[in-house]
Structure 1
Amino acid sequence: MSLGKKKIISTVLRYAVLILVGLPMVYPLLWMVSATFKSNTEIFSGMGLIPKTFNFDGYKNAFNDFGGNINLLKAMINTYSYVIPKVVFTIISATVTAYGFSRFKFKGRDVLFAILMSTLFLPQVVLNVPQFLLFNKLGWVDSGLYLPLIVPTLFAIDTYFVFMLIQFLRGIPVELEEAAQIDGCNVVQILVKIIVPMLKPALVSCALFQFMWSSNDFMGPLLYVSTPANYPAAIFVKLSMDADTGFEWNRVLAVSLISIIPSLVVFFLAQDTFVEGITAGGVKG
């Protein structure tokens, strides 16, 4: 068998395996999209992807108000009014913290780093009560600015991102910074002009993770947002389920689908850099 035929067979087999593995993963999303065009009866009558009759009531009712001056559009605006600041502040604080731990030697660094890493094993559920008491005493609960959700990200509370950036920084040669110092750069200039551009893949990965996690967060807004007009999309989806009159599942699924579209768009726009950041183990020469 010639080398060309072997390459073709190898490519076909590889794509066949990818398709077989990918279909079970993509099928739930495809079914969700198709179910938005089905009636309740048809949704529970089979698992087919193509609706027998297209029903657009789910999308028509998706933008209805559910009381409290809230609808899907406003809920999505509310969501990204705190998600975007959280992403920005997380990247800034995590970068500064990771740079400090990876490049500077100071008294107690190892102990502080060990304490920082130990917070990875601390479940968020055990922090909910003390954090709520703290933010309530500060008067931040039900703040229109979503202070309990945004302010903590200024202090690098997401240890996973700090650890991820530290690991990436270990692959960046210190000689680059020493050369910049010789050229007259101070610490801030080295961080901004040398380190941050080289951290771009890792920073994009952190930003995407934070964007998706914050967009899907239900417990945080549930604890700290009590005014219906300020509800994010995660809570609005729950509001769209009316247990008294029965669930209109095409509407619920339509609301869910519309609410995740921004996350899907952001992911596909940045997927190349995201994959590079996840797989990168050092600096390419």
Structure 2
Amino acid sequence: MKMSDNKHLKSVIYHICILTLGLMMFYPVLWMIASSFKGHANALSPSLIPDQFLIQNYFQGWQGFGDLTFATFFKNSFIIATTATIGQVILSAMTAYGFGRIQFKGRNFWFSVMIITLLFPQQVVMIPQYLMFNQLGWIDTFKPLILPKFTPLPFFVFLMVQFVRGLPRELDEAARIDGCGVYMIFFKIILPNIKPALITAAIFSFYWTWQDFFTPLLYIQSTELYPVSLALSLFADPQAVTNWGAMFAMATLSLLPIFLIFIFFQRYLVEGIATSGLKG
């Protein structure tokens, strides 16, 4: 009986510690949501309980700036994030198929070279990219934000290669007997069987593109082309009073797409990270 009580006490302490740590990690998000309903005087107070429940913060924030509502900024973010995600996932899957299934000279060497590029910081290529895009006349357009994404990301390629290598090669041989070529095998055999990896890559790519602040800041100059991440900074005006409630309200809304995607596809996300191909 005493041993049972000790186990119960340890379990209670364990869950209390986990809940405390979870609350500490999630506190900034809870504080932002709570602050989106606060009045201006108490918007920055650390309390999670609004002094007054002001739903109009969301209406004021959605009105945006001048003739531009936040619907424009959300539309820009969806265009950039969706297009970039589609291109990056498809190109990464094709590259993973080449490394995982097609035999060619120096395959292991070039795969190692690709993995090494993960060690390069993004700042290394920022200046050359900016100079190149400036010469092409792409500054103040969506092109520098989307077209560079139409390249395989080494992290996604590595993730998908593990799935491709885990697929039985008998599937390819059976498809060849039925008259399928390299491309038909990729679209009919490989893609359907690496769905968890594709969805995992899509979630990460969409999230990284959606929350990116520095890249739009570098290339976008016109306010009507701002994504949400950049438009939120317009609330902070050093020459006027910052509407913190409206800023936090729009920041809260900007989390909804990521939150919904995670809720609906979390099963594939866990499977894509935890497994490496077909089992059995």
TM-score exceeds 0.5 = yes
Deviation at 1:150, TM superposition (A): 1.5
Q: Structure 2: any 5+ residue segments left out of the alignment? A: none
Q: Secondary structure at the match of 2:150?
A: helix
Q: How many residues align?
A: 278
Aligned to 1:282: 277
Check whether the contact 1:57–1:250 (CA below 8 A) recurs between aligned residues.
no
- 2: CA distance, partners of 1:39 / 1:151: 42
Query: In 2, are the aligned partners of 1:93 and 1:153 still within 8 Å (CA)?
Result: no
Counterpart residue type for residue 107 of structure 1: K
- Of 240, 248, 264, the match for 1:245: 240
Candidates 97, 120, 133, aligned match of 1:99: 97
1:165 to 160, 169, 176: 160
Q: In structure 2, what is the equivalent of residue 151 of structure 1? A: 147
What residue is the counterpart of 1:63 in the other structure?
62
2:131 aligns with 133
Instruction: Give the one of 217, 220, 224 matched to 2:215.
Output: 220
Tell me if 1:90 matches 2:88.
yes
1:42-88 CA deviation, whole Å, 9 max, x = no partner? 2344x332223212342132023324x43211000011112111111
Q: CA deviation at 1:258?
A: 1.2
Matched AA of 1:93: L
| Displacement over 3 Å in runs of 4+ | 7-21
Alignment pair present for 1:52 and 2:51: yes
| CA shift for structure 1 position 95 | 0.3
Q: 1:238, 1:64 → 2: CA distance?
A: 15
Quick one: which amino acid aligns to residue 213 of structure 2? F
**Quick one: which of 265, 271, 276 aligns to 1:270?**
265
Q: Structure 1: how far apart are the matches of 2:168 and 2:23? A: 42
Q: Residue by residue, what CA displacement relative to the aligned partner does 1:91-144 show, whole Å, maximum 9, x if unpaired?
A: 11000001101111212323322221121111111211100111111122222x
Q: Contact 1:40 / 1:248 at 8 angstroms: preserved in 2?
A: yes
Contact between 2:39 and 2:51, CA under 8 Å: does it hold in 1?
no
Going from structure 1 to structure 2, the CA distance change for 1:174 and 1:267 (only over 3 Å counts) comes to same
Contact 2:235 2:244 in 1 (8 A): no
Taking the aligned partners of 1:108 and 1:63, their CA distance within structure 2 comes to 54
* Pair 1:232-2:232 in alignment: no
* TM-score (ref. length: structure 1): 0.88
SS of match in other structure, 1:185:
coil
- Partner amino acid, structure 1, of 2:144: P
Counterpart residue identity of residue 247, structure 1: T
Separation of aligned partners in 1, 2:70 and 2:116: 39
Structure 1 residues 17 and 197: alpha-carbon distance in aligned structure 2, compared to 1, 3 A threshold: farther
Structure 1 residues 20-29 or 91-100, which shifts more? 20-29
Query: Which residue of 2 is the match for residue 176 of structure 1?
Result: 171
* C-alpha separation in 2, matches of 1:237 and 1:252: 6
How high is the sequence identity, in percent, across the aligned residues? 38
